[in-house]
């Protein structure tokens, strides 16, 4: 099977989405406590998955997480790189759902499995393991609220951007039928 090559335009767009993810995740974030933060960092990862497919979305999630750790002071932890990768992968795999009919609920559904499995369950477990000061149930409860809010906001932003048709005009999205 021949390897499909990405164009320079695609690579540059993915690099820009990764850079935007770093800024949104590390610099524009309300943090009520050290383990909870409200951000819209998922937007560029979801867009990468929807616009360019699962591999591209996953790579934007990984690159954004790896580069972002340079600014966080916590260091890189591969356990916490899994959810951003899953978010982009899931959005890319469920892209046909959004292509079929672009709606807020379909955009939300395109990354919600990754949010529940990765950001809520997976990260809650590892946070309870590494911090040890709170139980898994505490992290699960607090992160469920956090990601219910951020998922709704992320979906609204992505849906709004798709509705503006800006990605169609740039030749990056063919739009819903």
> Which pair of tokens denotes residue 81?
């790189």
Asked if residue 174 is part of any domain, the answer here is no
d(CA 128, CA 44): 28
CB neighbour list of residue 68: distance below 8 Å, 6 or more residues apart:
21, 22, 25, 26
Mean pLDDT along residues 85-107: 94
pLDDT of residue 94: 95
CB neighbour list of residue 141: distance below 8 Å, 6 or more residues apart:
none
d(CA 22, CA 105): 26
Asked if residue 3 is part of any domain, the answer here is no
pLDDT of residue 175 exceeding 80, the answer is: no
What confidence tens digit (pLDDT) does each residue in 107-156 have? 999 999 999 999 889 988 888 888 776 788 888 888 888 889 999 999 99
33: three-class secondary structure by DSSP: strand
Asked if residue 176 is part of any domain, the answer here is no
pLDDT of residue 26: 77
Asked if residue 132 is part of any domain, the answer here is yes
CATH code of the domain covering residue 132: 1.10.1760.20
What confidence tens digit (pLDDT) does each residue in 6-21 have? 788 889 999 999 999 9
Asked if residue 138 is part of any domain, the answer here is yes
**Number of domains into which the chain is organized:** 1
Asked if residue 147 is part of any domain, the answer here is yes
Q: The domain containing residue 115 runs over which residues? A: 8-29+40-169
pLDDT of residue 133: 67
What confidence tens digit (pLDDT) does each residue in 39-91 have? 889 999 999 999 999 999 999 999 999 998 887 777 788 888 999 999 999 99
């Amino acid at each position: 099977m021949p390897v499909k090559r990405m164009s320079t335009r695609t690579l540059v767009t993915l690099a820009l989405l990764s850079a935007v993810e770093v800024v949104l995740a590390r610099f524009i974030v309300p943090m009520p406590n050290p383990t909870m933060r409200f951000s819209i960092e998922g937007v560029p990862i979801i867009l990468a998955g929807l616009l360019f497919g699962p591999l591209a979305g996953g790579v934007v999630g990984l690159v954004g997480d790896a580069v972002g750790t340079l600014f966080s002071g916590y260091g890189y932890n591969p356990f916490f790189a899994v959810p951003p990768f899953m978010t982009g992968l899931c959005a890319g795999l469920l892209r046909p759902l959004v292509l079929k009919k672009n709606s807020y609920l379909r955009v939300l559904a395109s990354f919600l499995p990754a949010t529940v499995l990765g950001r809520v369950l997976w990260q809650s477990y590892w946070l309870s393991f590494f911090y040890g000061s709170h139980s898994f149930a505490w992290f699960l409860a607090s992160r469920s609220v956090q990601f219910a809010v951020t998922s709704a906001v992320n979906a609204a932003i992505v849906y709004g951007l798709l509705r503006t048709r800006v990605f169609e005009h740039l030749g990056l999205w063919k739009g819903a039928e």
